[in-house]
Amino acid sequence: MWSYVWLPILLSLCTDAITMVKAAESPAAIFLPSQVGAADDDESRAFDSRNYVCSAPNPDLNYKPVIGILSHPGDGASGRLSNDSNASYIAASYVKLAEAGGARVIPLIFNEPEESLFQKLGLVNGVIFTGGWAKEGLYYEIVKKIFNKALERNDAGEHFPVYAICLGFELVTMIISQNRDILEKVDAKNSASSLQFVENVNIEGTVFQRFPPELLKKLNTDCLVMQNHQWGISPGRYEGNIALSSFFNIVTTCIDDHGKAYVSTVQSKKYPVTGVQWHPEKNAFEWGLSRIPHSEDAIQVTQLAANHLVSEARKSLNRPTSGKVLSNLIYNYKPTYCGYEGRGYDEVYIFTQQRSLL
């Protein structure tokens, strides 16, 4: 008789023991409270709640980072949205990239008075140089001044990241090499591609440092990044330029539509400066080009690139007063939808600003 009484109890104890052993053997497994024998009464829930702790913020990190994005000449739509000669724009996809990583954005309007421009630069924790076409004149000079200011801030002890994307990559290449003719023609317009990692490259500290191994493998074989440019630089020319090779490490290369190799990702050896010839923002936030990859893996590339940018910006301890930040945020402007054309950008922020003569 007693054996019948004890049998259910023994079976229950064995079940609990097996569950606990499995949990110990599989640290990566996730178990619900009911699977590890947690009681379901009010007293137990009250006790369990006291075991949860909200970690204190790291005082060495800035949890409200702001990214400055430099505007580009024009309206982003070949004059369809604005024919004002002073117009400049920022594609909304770059704003969304920063926001996806957990940052806010202040637009840096390239042709506004320099005093105002650099006051705004003092409000941000990092900068994005976007894609586009302008490689000379005022735009080139402003990019050069902002880039040099970013290096100065890093040299002074502030961690201040720079993300140079497509045209931004090309301009930084020209600036560091001090050669405006260093770029070469490539055929990579509206083209999705893989990324070929340089042999034995160390990805620690690069945009790829938090990519899971499986995604890194896919980047090497699948078309997960968007290219949209007709200028680039071959690995041989890049390494052959002393200024470039001493400033940057080449991380990845790509092959254009005619089999020509070009540098596609670089990371500064000394500064938090990342250059990518490809477009991390387009996978998740642009729909106007037919070859943009939108797979789950491609979206993960966008998200991880955004995470890297903003994680670097959080290391900046520049913390201006909130009033100045709030009055200059991109939220003070309205984006213009231009995706109905089925080409180009989906949304842009357009700025009209007469440059000061001072």
Query: DSSP label at 95?
Result: H
Q: Residue 261, class by beta-carbon neighbours within 10 Å (0-12 exposed, 13-18 middle, 19+ buried)?
A: middle
* Set 72, 159, 279, 308: catalytic member: 279
* Set 166, 229, 308, 338: catalytic member: 166
Collect all residues with Cβ–Cβ distance below 8 Å to 235 and sequence separation of at least 6: 250, 253, 261, 262, 263
Query: DSSP label at 36?
Result: G
Task: Determine phi and psi for 349, rounding to 5 degrees.
Answer: -100, 125
What is the spatial distance between Cα 73 and Cα 101, in angstroms, rounded to a whole number? Answer: 26
Alpha-carbon torsion, ordered 327, 329, 330, 331, to 10 deg: -70
The per-type count for the chain, helices as H runs and strands as E runs, is: 12, 14
Reading the block at residue 48, the tokens are 């369990």
The list of the chain residues with pLDDT below 50 reads 1-7, 9-11, 23, 355-358
According to the model, what pLDDT value does residue 32 have? 74
CA nearest neighbour of 259 among 165, 198, 196: 196
The question of whether 308 is a catalytic residue gets the answer no
The neighbour count for residue 33, using CB atoms within 10 Å, is 12
What is the spatial distance between Cα 180 and Cα 184, in angstroms, rounded to a whole number? Answer: 11
The class of domain 68-341 in CATH terms is alpha beta
Go through the chain and tell me how many residues it has.
358
According to the model, what pLDDT value does residue 46 have? 53
CA nearest neighbour of 59 among 319, 338, 283: 319
The question of whether 166 is a catalytic residue gets the answer yes
What is the spatial distance between Cα 303 and Cα 281, in angstroms, rounded to a whole number? Answer: 9
Residue position matching structure tokens 């009911």:
34
The neighbour count for residue 222, using CB atoms within 10 Å, is 17
Residue position matching structure tokens 């990519």:
211
Q: Residue 329, class by beta-carbon neighbours within 10 Å (0-12 exposed, 13-18 middle, 19+ buried)?
A: middle
What is the spatial distance between Cα 337 and Cα 340, in angstroms, rounded to a whole number? Answer: 8
What is the spatial distance between Cα 147 and Cα 143, in angstroms, rounded to a whole number? Answer: 6
CA nearest neighbour of 266 among 222, 210, 203, 199: 203
Question: Kindly report the CA angle at 119 between 117 and 120, in degrees rounded to 5?
Answer: 65
Q: What digits encode the pLDDT tens for the residues 91-136? A: 999 999 999 999 999 999 999 999 999 999 999 999 999 999 999 9
In the chain, which residues fall in CATH 3.40.50.880?
Answer: 68-341
> Parallel, antiparallel, or unpaired: how do β-strands 72-73 and 261-268 relate?
unpaired
According to the model, what pLDDT value does residue 317 have? 87
What is the spatial distance between Cα 138 and Cα 146, in angstroms, rounded to a whole number? Answer: 12
According to the model, what pLDDT value does residue 355 have? 42
Reading the block at residue 190, the tokens are 């509206």
Q: What digits encode the pLDDT tens for the residues 133-190? A: 999 999 999 999 999 999 999 999 999 999 999 999 999 999 999 999 999 999 999 9
What is the spatial distance between Cα 243 and Cα 239, in angstroms, rounded to a whole number? Answer: 9
Reading the block at residue 332, the tokens are 């003070």
State the helix-helix crossing angle for 213-221 and 296-313, rounded to 10 degrees.
120
> Parallel, antiparallel, or unpaired: how do β-strands 104-108 and 127-129 relate?
unpaired
Judge contact between 88 and 134, C-beta under 8 A: no
State the helix-helix crossing angle for 167-177 and 137-155, rounded to 10 degrees.
70
Q: What's this model's pTM, rounded to 2 decimal places?
A: 0.85
